[in-house]
Chains A and B, each alone.
Chain A
Amino acid sequence: MNSLLLSRLFTQLAETNAFPLAVWETVYLTFASAAIAYLVGLPLGVILAVTDRGGLKPVLWLNKTLGIIVNIFRSIPFIILMVALIPVSRALLGTSIGNGAMIFMLVVAAAPYVSRMVESSLKEVDAGVVEAAKSMGASTIQIILKVYLPEAKPSLLVGAVISTVTILGYSAMAGTIAAGGLGALAVTQARPSNAQDVIWLCVLLIVIIVQLIQEGGMLLATRTDKRVRAKAGRSKRAKTEKP
């Protein structure tokens, strides 16, 4: 990319309203979908972790059934899932196009993924700590709310970052059903007119958004993790000692 192209890019950015709107729509689609996906996926992940063999309350039939459903949804490519969900979206939301329908489809695709992320985070919690809570007379609900979720918080945050970035990737297909965002802008508006600069600017903006989510999320995860607090202090000192 030469400087001429770059300068044209930024002129483009300044002159049109399309980019700020697309950025906003991408962010909105991604975070709204991620939030709703967690509303569904978090409880589902907890159930998967708790009902598994060796879990807090093993219920194997439930675990296996949910596991199979989750796997089926996870194995369908998103673009095919979108097509399949068109009638479902029409039935539930009254429409199969636009941002609302896109969020619905993103949630259906992401919730099973999120549930597996949550499940694996909870399984990292030290079994000894759970046993200690049991020995203090904690009920299953108390162990979930006061041990599993708080102890797994840093890992859950890392999982949320990965999930959100994945959802952002999926959201680029929004153009298929006439929803918005940077992906839609690049695919449905820029590509037909072969506006390479617009396409590249979309890519650049997506990269920046991903970076912000990734770095911000990881910072939050490390900041809130009380296990690494002491260590982080040391490594910071070590860094400043370097010439």
Chain B
Amino acid sequence: MIALKNLTKIYPSKTGETVALENVDLEIPDGSVFGVIGLSGAGKSTLVRCLNLLEKPTRGQVIIDGEDVTALSGKRLRALRRSVGMIFQSFNLLEQRTAAANVRFPLELGKIPREEAKRRVGELLSLVGLSEKADFYPSQLSGGQKQRVAIARALATEPKYLLCDEATSALDPATTESVLQLLKKINRELGVTIVVITHEMKVVESVCTHVAVLDQSRVAEAGKVEDIFSFPQSEIAKRLILPDLIRSVAGSGKGNQLRLVFHGDASDTPVISGLASECGVPANILFADTRRIDGKTFGHMVIELPENEAQIAAAKQYLTSKSVTFKEEI
């Protein structure tokens, strides 16, 4: 597990100091795909660079598997970095090396015997589906292929953790999806804990089990994705998670609007028709945005009920009985 305690990073600047991270406390559980989302400038990239100490925290601790790594240097720091893989938005492949030689690079650094390295490179390239491109140079690969090579390279040292800094931000939607599926597979099959830095909600939705929302150098909120998605508490989380549309239809504030939250349980129950047929309450759908993730339905629906206390109460009772989560405050 990676734990951050009171992590603060301050950059000196001409006009004084720039605070990139302020008292960040986070726990990244083993086996999770942990998303860190925020607008640009929120401190996401600094946060992920503190995890492998590419940036030295100004204050606070980074604790990996029970060991405070903040003070590590020299050999021990390099050993730590070998146990934490990292991929980047701009891939950062060595341009003068082939795909295979790029994947071999960290093995050369660790002085792994040639034969063993060769075998590992073969396995890794096949894991990311690029066995045929082994002898291609980065300039001959597409963006998605480059990121796959980078992933294979980051996994070469068999790290327990993989850090992804905006790894899909330079890719088109279809390629993004396939890279995300690859990350998911790595998480599931190799048990690698993955930290995903992104500004795209879709990325979190698609792969993450946990998420932390970063706002102005602080953690606004953090938890399991379904909890944060269903009930965002902070203003920034609401802005990021609830689509603009839901915020524009809502807000009449009359109390006869409900936001139904689907997080995988009640999705098969036809609740809206049930409302009409079982309690005689006609509901108007103002907004619906639901999608299926891993066979479960997630999303939001805003319905409008008649302005009638009794009918609203009946509707709420019905929804509770069907274990549909709802919020009166949109």
Q: Verify B139–A126 contact, CB threshold 8 A.
A: no
Is A52 part of the contact surface with B, judged by Cβ < 8 Å? no
A229 to B163, CA, bound (A): 31
Is B157 part of the contact surface with A, judged by Cβ < 8 Å? yes
The binding surface of chain A is classed by DSSP as helix
Chain A residues whose CB sits within 8 angstroms of the CB of B163 once the complex forms: 135
Give, as a whole number of angstroms, the nearest-CB distance from B77 to chain A. Answer: 8
User: How does the 8 Å CB contact mask read for A137-150 relative to B, with 1 for contact and 0 for none?
Assistant: 11100100011001
The one of B52, B86, B105 that contacts A146, using a Cβ cutoff of 8 Å: B105
Is A119 part of the contact surface with B, judged by Cβ < 8 Å? no
Chain B residues 115 to 168 lying within 8 A of chain A, measured CB to CB, are 137-140, 150, 153-154, 157, 163
Is B318 part of the contact surface with A, judged by Cβ < 8 Å? no
Nearest B-chain residue to A226, judged by Cβ: B137
Given contact pairs A129-B92, A129-B93, A150-B94, A135 touches B140 in the complex (Cβ within 8 A): no
Chain B residues whose CB sits within 8 angstroms of the CB of A132 once the complex forms: 86, 88, 92-93, 150
Nearest A-chain residue to B75, judged by Cβ: A139
User: How does the 8 Å CB contact mask read for A40-60 relative to B, with 1 for contact and 0 for none?
Assistant: 000000000000000000000
Q: Verify A227–B139 contact, CB threshold 8 A.
A: yes
Is B81 part of the contact surface with A, judged by Cβ < 8 Å? yes
A129 to B85, CA, bound (A): 14
Give the interface size class of chain B: 20 to 34
Chain A residues 119 to 136 lying within 8 A of chain B, measured CB to CB, are 126, 128-129, 131-136
Chain A residues whose CB sits within 8 angstroms of the CB of B81 once the complex forms: 134-137
Chain B residues 59 to 104 lying within 8 A of chain A, measured CB to CB, are 77-82, 84-86, 88, 90, 92-98
- Which of B79, B90, B96, B138 has its CB near the most chain A CB atoms (within 10 A)? B96
Given contact pairs A131-B54, A135-B81, A229 touches B137 in the complex (Cβ within 8 A): yes
A137 to B110, CA, bound (A): 8
A227 to B138, CA, bound (A): 8
Give, as a whole number of angstroms, the nearest-CB distance from A162 to chain B. Answer: 20
A227 to B153, CA, bound (A): 19
Is B274 part of the contact surface with A, judged by Cβ < 8 Å? no
Q: Verify B140–A137 contact, CB threshold 8 A.
A: no
Given contact pairs A129-B94, A150-B96, A153-B96, A134 touches B139 in the complex (Cβ within 8 A): no
Q: Verify B54–A151 contact, CB threshold 8 A.
A: no
Is B109 part of the contact surface with A, judged by Cβ < 8 Å? yes
Chain A residues whose CB sits within 8 angstroms of the CB of B77 once the complex forms: 137
Chain A residues whose CB sits within 8 angstroms of the CB of B157 once the complex forms: 136-137
Give, as a whole number of angstroms, the nearest-CB distance from A117 to chain B. Answer: 19
- Which of A142, A226, A227 has its CB near the most chain B CB atoms (within 10 A)? A226
Given contact pairs A128-B88, A150-B96, A137 touches B139 in the complex (Cβ within 8 A): no
Is B264 part of the contact surface with A, judged by Cβ < 8 Å? no
Is B108 part of the contact surface with A, judged by Cβ < 8 Å? yes
Nearest B-chain residue to A134, judged by Cβ: B54
Give, as a whole number of angstroms, the nearest-CB distance from A12 to chain B. Answer: 47
Q: A137-B157, A226-B137, A230-B140 are in contact. List 11 more A-B contacts (CB 8 A).
A: A126-B95, A128-B92, A131-B88, A132-B92, A132-B150, A136-B105, A137-B77, A137-B82, A150-B94, A150-B96, A231-B139
Q: 6 pairs across A/B with beta carbons < 8 Å?
A: A129-B92, A137-B80, A137-B109, A146-B105, A146-B109, A226-B97
Interface residues of B (CB under 8 A from A): 52, 54, 77-82, 84-86, 88, 90, 92-98, 105-106, 108-110, 137-140, 150, 153-154, 157, 163
